[in-house]
Structure 1
């Protein structure tokens, strides 16, 4: 059973991402307990549920325990265990502090009594900074805007995901220095987020999307083969056989629109089609999972997650089996709305590891 209570019908007045992230409060047990109303997505080849769902639902749960004139400004998360999509998640909000200007909440996501995800969030009262403000912000790069009808395909080759994305060519992609490269894309929630959802729904939706191929930036800038189809592995870097068959059946133009495929991946798939083994060219990812995730919300009431947002990611360091990635998120008109940081476990397949 993937939910504690039978899910209600989808609400047509809400965007797909709102229905996906809906929470059910459990007041008969504890007013600060919540659970996922609907089943959560387990990406193909991943160790567990999509991490963005846990991030977003923790935000949603915490937002329901604070006064309406407070807004989140930062959250710091740790992925503790892989979430099981077949088991309901219980979110427990702890009201750490409720002050005049700031409020602090922690949320633990639990399955079978074990913590799988934990986060601490801070909320600030609106307009508490005073009349005179010190302000500055980085500029959004001058890049091509999104193009109608050019969305990347979802994992299953259809337009069914809760958000849309359009990748832009990696900046400095031919550089020998991975830290100089930047991966970029346009993203937005599919459909229109309901007025009833308020700014809270837009914040949760953006938090959900912030985890999209975040730690994967490291493999992309190193041009590593991230999707091994020949190893029967249960890591984030593997890909299932059915999905591989779909990819091998696609032409190059269709592959370019698959969200997780880069030109390096397409070149390797072409070699698979020709009977060659592309794994001998470069090291292969053995395991890649997110360890932690931080979001700093800069203008949390000034954006709409169902309108195009631009994201830019770069990785300043990788070593000792881990890697760090920074992400900036802008509105289409260039307002910086969030800065995100994620560290991930990035282990290469070692000599002697089985290929089967």
Structure 2
């Protein structure tokens, strides 16, 4: 079974890794506004399907191919319908809902086996259509130092944790998870900044819904065996090489070890080779965490580069009823607020008794 509809060409060395990963191929035999992923997509360890940022970014990339070059996205509202299978190609169907003088609307459905796995509605506006006089205000970027240069050179983007604001409070809603993120390499300047916007969309899903468990100090993996099982399910890591996968799991290990200590668990490490019995007093184990929707409000569309450090701050104002809500602000390195994102997801704990009428497959 092929993971792409057509044979994948070799990566273009003149483009950044994230550009190669997000490249689309037109499928003209089906329709004028139908595209497919050119290369295999990543299935993160422990996830139910492909990395959600890939569907977000490729839907945006497909929609951008159907609007005039001076139109830029200002909002994108997405729903994760089914888990994407990394072993199957995805077809992106774009519908041209409206074309006006100042605004344009597109919907995109990502489909596998003829069924939608992801759907989004995007709104674009023409650059400069707001006039010379403007209503303006913005949230200032916190005073933080940029990370040092990276010593690694693998994977499409890199992240650096920048701590948790108010980490000692007992109120999860008052905490904020901070990190830096950027695309590796140098993004080409040949597509009117569209590659930077797609890259931003791709990276906006990094550790997003996981903010709920981080501010609640709930470990993602309950034991070394759980991690091993997740790694065994890894499919087509096209955008993460072995070194990057190793660092990814170490990063999860560091966070989960901290959560374990805060909850009074005496394991020396979540990632020891031998499982250690969990203390009976530990009752909060993550049972399911799945993104339901994802919204991006693009602010300064051309006021940033996705291959330079972007500072993000994520907070969770509410969690309950088996769901959690996360807000994310993203700033360029010069302090410009470039995007605000919102995501809701299923966040369920393991139960002592099975939930009645619960949808375990979503």
Q: TM-score range by the shorter chain?
A: 0.7 to 0.9
Q: Do residues 258 (structure 1) and 251 (structure 2) align?
A: yes
Aligned residues: 333
Q: Do residues 105 (structure 1) and 106 (structure 2) align?
A: yes
TM-score w.r.t. structure 1 length?
A: 0.88
Which whole-Å deviations, capped at 9, do the CAs of 1:262-320 have from their partners, x for residues lacking one?
Answer: 25257566245486434642401100000000000001111100000000000000000
1:306 match: secondary structure: coil
1:135 match: secondary structure: coil
The whole-number CA distance in structure 1 between the counterparts of 2:49 and 2:232 is: 18
**Structure 1 stretch displaced more, 66-75 or 273-282:** 273-282
Q: Do residues 240 (structure 1) and 231 (structure 2) align?
A: yes
The whole-number CA distance in structure 2 between the counterparts of 1:139 and 1:282 is: 39
Paired residues of 1:255 and 1:266 also in contact (CA < 8 A): no
Q: Deviation of residue 174 (structure 1)?
A: 1.3
1:55 match: secondary structure: helix
Determine the structure 2 residue equivalent to 1:207: 201
Q: Do residues 270 (structure 1) and 248 (structure 2) align?
A: no
The whole-number CA distance in structure 2 between the counterparts of 1:145 and 1:66 is: 35
The whole-number CA distance in structure 1 between the counterparts of 2:46 and 2:279 is: 18
Determine the structure 2 residue equivalent to 1:248: none
Paired residues of 1:165 and 1:259 also in contact (CA < 8 A): no
Q: Deviation of residue 195 (structure 1)?
A: 1.6
Determine the structure 2 residue equivalent to 1:14: 15
Q: Do residues 192 (structure 1) and 186 (structure 2) align?
A: yes
The whole-number CA distance in structure 1 between the counterparts of 2:178 and 2:38 is: 32
Residues 42 and 309 of structure 1, relative CA distance in 2, 3 Å threshold: same
The whole-number CA distance in structure 2 between the counterparts of 1:42 and 1:141 is: 33
Determine the structure 2 residue equivalent to 1:117: 118
The whole-number CA distance in structure 2 between the counterparts of 1:332 and 1:259 is: 26
Q: Do residues 136 (structure 1) and 137 (structure 2) align?
A: yes
Determine the structure 2 residue equivalent to 1:173: 167
The whole-number CA distance in structure 1 between the counterparts of 2:115 and 2:160 is: 37
Residues 159 and 352 of structure 1, relative CA distance in 2, 3 Å threshold: farther
The whole-number CA distance in structure 2 between the counterparts of 1:279 and 1:192 is: 48
Paired residues of 2:224 and 2:275 also in contact (CA < 8 A): no
Residues 20 and 255 of structure 1, relative CA distance in 2, 3 Å threshold: closer
2:158 equivalent among 161, 164, 171: 164
Q: Deviation of residue 149 (structure 1)?
A: 3.5
2:18 match: secondary structure: helix
The whole-number CA distance in structure 2 between the counterparts of 1:138 and 1:259 is: 30
The whole-number CA distance in structure 1 between the counterparts of 2:106 and 2:324 is: 28
2:143 match: secondary structure: coil
Paired residues of 1:225 and 1:282 also in contact (CA < 8 A): no
CA RMSD of superposed structures (Å): 2.4
Q: Deviation of residue 143 (structure 1)?
A: 1.6
Q: Deviation of residue 97 (structure 1)?
A: 0.1
Note the 1:336-351 alignment, pairs <5 A: 336-351=337-352
Note the 1:285-324 alignment, pairs <5 A: 285-324=286-325
The whole-number CA distance in structure 2 between the counterparts of 1:95 and 1:242 is: 37
Q: Which consecutive residues of structure 1, in runs of 5 or more, have no partner in the other structure?
A: 151-157, 244-253
**Structure 1 stretch displaced more, 308-317 or 278-287:** 278-287
Paired residues of 1:224 and 1:284 also in contact (CA < 8 A): yes
2:192 match: secondary structure: helix
The whole-number CA distance in structure 1 between the counterparts of 2:224 and 2:182 is: 34
Residues 115 and 147 of structure 1, relative CA distance in 2, 3 Å threshold: same
2:190 match: secondary structure: helix
